[in-house]
């Protein structure tokens, strides 16, 4: 459940309590300018993901295989810059 506060009526303690039931939208002059989330919700959205090394690693137990792709032919080729 989302809660909205305007800039003039926000009380930090109330906003923090409201954040436990959903995002707290903060409006300034009728325009939403900020969103308050609990740290747990923030980490779900933007928490540390896997590194590129972890993403490219083969899962344990995967049998090894040879990877020998064919060579490209015709490269490098001359380029006419005239």
- For 26-45, write each residue's pLDDT tens digit: 888 888 888 989 988 888 88
Euclidean distance between CA atoms 72 and 58, whole angstroms: 26
Q: What is the value of pTM for the model shown? A: 0.49
Q: In the sheet that 24-28 helps form, which strands lie side by side, from edge to edge?
A: 3-6, 24-28, 31-36
| Adjacent-strand bridge partners of 27 | 6, 32
- For 61-80, write each residue's pLDDT tens digit: 888 888 898 888 877 788 88
Euclidean distance between CA atoms 7 and 15, whole angstroms: 11
Domains and CATH numbers, the chain: 3-49 (3.40.1620.10)
């Amino acid at each position: 459940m989302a809660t909205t506060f305007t800039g003039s009526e926000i009380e930090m303690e109330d906003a923090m309590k409201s954040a436990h039931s959903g995002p707290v939208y903060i409006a300034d002059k009728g325009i939403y300018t900020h969103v308050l989330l609990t740290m747990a919700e923030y980490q779900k959205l933007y928490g540390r993901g896997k590194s590129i090394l972890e993403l490219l690693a083969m899962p344990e137990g995967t049998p090894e295989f040879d990877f020998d792709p064919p060579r490209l032919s015709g490269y490098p080729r001359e380029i006419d810059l005239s």
